[in-house]
Amino acid sequence: MSGGTVVRGWVGEAVGRRLRDPGFWAERAAIFALIAVVVVFGILSPNFLTVGNLEAVLLAGAILVVLAVGQTYAVVTAGIDLSLGATPTLASVMVGYVVGREGGTLLACLLAVLVATTFGVLSGLVISKGGITDFIVTLGALSVATGLALLISDGRPVEVFDPFLLTLATGSIGPIAYLMLLALVVAVAGHVLMFHTGFGTHLLATGGDKEAARNMGVNVDRVKVTAYAISGFLAGVAGIMLTARVGSAEPAVNTEFLLNSVASVVLGGVSLFGGRGSVAGPVAGALLLTALLNGLTLLGVSEYWQPVAVGSVVILSAFLTRYQR
Amino acid sequence: MATDDGSAILQVEEVAKHFGNVVALEGASMEAKDGEITAIVGDNGAGKSTLIKCVAGVHLPDRGRIVFGGEVVRFSSPEEARRAGIETVYQNLALVDELTIWQNLFLNREIKRGVGPVSFLDRKAMARRSEEMLSRLDIHIPSVHARVRRLSGGQRQAVAISRATGWGSRLIVMDEPTAALGVKESGRVEELILRLREEGHSLLVISHNFDQVLRLSDQIWVMRQGRVVGGRRTSETTGDELVALVTGANRGEPDEEGEA
Ligand SMILES: Nc1ncnc2c1ncn2[C@@H]1O[C@H](COP(=O)(O)OP(=O)(O)O)[C@@H](O)[C@H]1O
Ligand SMILES: [Mg+2]
């Protein structure tokens, strides 16, 4: 037997072993499910696999992608950011408030991001220094942000006429819309930060085993605060994208953002116990959810069924995570 | 005494530590000599872990002094102790299951390259150095890219020990390195500990296995109820004497100081 055959046989066996390992599938569930959804809807609906519709899916998914990346940072620390249900709204209302008072786009966007980031930092501080669980703190933050959005806007939506935001919403480089580009930048930056920097390793270590990380001298409190700051920052970015897309700032809470961001993270194979996950997975999860909703709409399924579909997919995928190793 | 001429690398003097109402240490004193394996034995709850955590910078002692390498030290974090040259292998090993072996070996000591404030991990360099660290100690592990979760108890211990030795440390502290291991794996870890001494490392090892301590160490300190109640050169003591010291059966000299 030649050396080449031995190597090839060995590689084949290794690949076979991976393919038979349920963990391999569980980690990549979102990507395979995304492919499956695209294929199924492509067969069922002639309009699904058109360039125009795929662009629409990516554009509609852009905001969720940004939020999913933020949620991922909270979840890998073994936490969760429930405030993502309201901080994008609050950021959007801030944009409306400043633009409405002729404060300028730049100031509006800066303030929006600043307020949302502050929410993240404060949540992180209360969680790490105060020793209160993530769930409760961010639930409180969700409520506070909801209230602040109502107070600032006086409970009324305002239209936002702003050339910059209009360009952001409608412009593109070639076929790639600015909003898609922004989501892509966030996803790539989120991936690089998590897997190619010292902070990323400390983040995963803190989420995986806080005590071990602390013993090795990792400042676990600072890691936690930074993770929530990132989540808050991205909520601010998402708020700006939202304002640009709908052309107005609405104080109504977006519970789908919260649910779908958590769903994307679960679909993306991020362990809810922390310490393990990816950015690509949740991004695929976010696109999967968006494609699913788009496909159901194209098929004429009542939109009342959509939450049912999302919920079922999430629970199904959570089952798969049991096979993660 | 044969190995009596080494100078002390570590001296613990009357160190006390309490947690709320629990007095974990009430004035414990001992020392460790350069290039030796120094053992601490004692029953559960005697204060062994607390003592080494004071040495490792996890706890600040309430009273007493710690002298390391001839200087009085007062570490307020494990990081400070590590910078001074004290590496600790904790009872829980401080390995993150979900991270790979190389990520654990370089946790908080990542090799980076980059320009100015922007720097990225040099993953290849860390993986390569990890392989070197493990093979230098003759530790066999399928791949440094495997997650720690997949390792056996003995392999984990070996990874934790090689992490502690890889940084030019002057004293390696180990808390019950074989407590969770089977006979065969314990044997391998013991070999590793002896190899470290041959390489000139100083080691401070907690154990409650007297046979092991008698096999491995040069000096033995016995702890009971928050105190060090005796010290013996290993060559001059027996298992029976250690048992008597640990249980307090030789009531004659309860606070006898060891002839180190
Ligand atoms: N962090 C802590 N908080 C409260 N009590 C502690 C803590 N660490 C140790 N103790 C107590 O101090 C005593 C000594 O514990 P320890 O040093 O772990 O003993 P050993 O390692 O010899 O078994 C025990 O009574 C233990 O319960
Ligand atoms: Mg102990």
Give, for all 325 residues of chain A, the pLDDT tens digit: 444 455 555 566 667 767 776 667 767 778 888 899 999 999 999 999 999 999 999 999 999 999 999 999 999 999 999 999 999 999 999 999 999 999 999 999 999 999 999 999 999 999 999 999 999 999 999 999 999 999 999 999 999 999 999 999 999 998 899 999 999 999 999 999 999 999 999 999 999 999 999 988 899 999 999 999 999 999 999 999 999 999 999 998 788 899 999 999 999 989 999 999 999 999 999 999 999 999 999 999 998 998 898 888 888 877 777 776 5
Smallest Cα distance from B78 to chain A, Å: 6
Atom of ligand 1 nearest to the CA of B47: 17
In chain B, how many H helices and how many E strands?
8, 12
Asked whether the beta carbons of residue B94 and residue A196 sit closer than 8 angstroms, the reply is: no
Q: Which domains does chain B have, with CATH numbers?
A: 1-85+170-260 (3.40.50.300), 93-169 (no CATH)
Judged by its nearest atom, the ligand closest to the C-alpha of residue B53 is 1
pLDDT exceeds 50 at position B1? no
Interchain CB distance below 8 Å, B97 and A209: yes
Chain B residues in contact with A216 (beta carbon < 8 A): 78, 94, 107-108
Return the pLDDT at A24: 72
Among B220, B217, B229, B219, residue whose Cα is nearest residue B257: B229
Q: Distance of CA A161 to CAs A99, A158, A170, A249, B87, Å?
A: 8, 10, 13, 10, 61
Residues B183-242 have pLDDT tens digits of 888 898 999 999 999 989 999 999 988 999 999 999 999 999 999 999 999 999 999 999
Does residue B171 contact residue B6 with C-beta atoms inside 8 Å? no
Enter the pTM of the model.
Answer: 0.87
CB-based pocket (< 6 A), ligand 1: B 19, 22, 24, 42, 44-50
B130 and B102 Cβ atoms separated by less than 8 Å: yes
Hey, what amino acid is at A13? Answer: E
CB contact under 8 A, A212 and B94: yes
Bridge partners of B33, per DSSP, are B8
Which two tokens mark B123? Answer: 């993953």
B100-154 confidence digits (pLDDT tens): 999 999 999 999 998 877 899 999 999 999 999 998 888 888 899 999 999 998 8
pLDDT for B2 equals: 39
Lateral strand order in the sheet of B219-224? B86-89, B171-175, B202-206, B37-42, B219-224, B227-233
Residue of B nearest to A210 (CA): B96
For residue A172, report the phi and psi dihedrals to the nearest 5 degrees: -160, 160
Backbone CA torsion sign across B136, B140, B146, B150 = negative
Up-side HSE of residue A48: CA atoms within 13 Å toward CB?
A: 20
Banded model confidence at residue B3, pLDDT cuts 50, 70, 90: very low
> Two tokens at B1?
């005494």
- Is any Cβ of chain B less than 8 angstroms from the Cβ of A221? no
